[in-house]
Amino acid sequence: MEEGLDQEYYLNRTGCGVPLNRLCAVCYAAPPLSSLGILALERENPIARFHALQISLTSVPYLLNLWVWRSFFGLTWLPIVFFFAGLGWCWVAGSTAAKASASLARVPYLPFVGPRVERWIERE
């Protein structure tokens, strides 16, 4: 067997028994809860862990920012609008990640968080 086929088999294999495209989509379903659940359950696949860690590191500061806007500045309707806009973006990103998992690509690759997450995943 060729080396490329072994690597492709390794990257498509998941420890949970769930197909890779579903794991990538679930990471973005209800962040950060769904992505932290994937990080806790999936230990073998670096692509699923990449997506879970990337959206976790993006969604936690986003939600904290919305909480600050609502609590300290008294804005009630604007954080709700941004929350649903962010959730819609997550669902589009999850669909993109599920489609790109067939080619083993790390898409979507966020500019600031993506390179750091990739280095952390490579160290594991």
More confident residue, 16 or 63: 63
pLDDT in tens, 72-91: 988 889 999 999 999 999 99
Residues 6+ apart with CB under 8 A from 92: none
Q: What is the full DSSP assignment across 70-112?
A: HHHS---HHHHHHHHHHHHHHHHHHHHHHHHGGGT---S--TT
Q: b/e map of 47-58 (b: 16 or more CB within 10 Å)?
A: bbbbbbbbbbbb
pLDDT in tens, 1-47: 445 556 665 567 788 888 899 999 999 999 999 999 999 999 888 99
| pLDDT value of position 13 | 76
| pLDDT value of position 98 | 93
Residue 62: which pLDDT band, with cuts at 50, 70 and 90? very high
| pLDDT value of position 3 | 56
Q: Where are the domains of the chain?
A: 3-123
Instruction: Look up residue 124 and give its DSSP letter.
Output: -
| pLDDT value of position 5 | 54
Distance CA 104, CA 121 (A): 15
How many other CB atoms sit within 10 Å of the CB of residue 99?
14
| pLDDT value of position 75 | 85
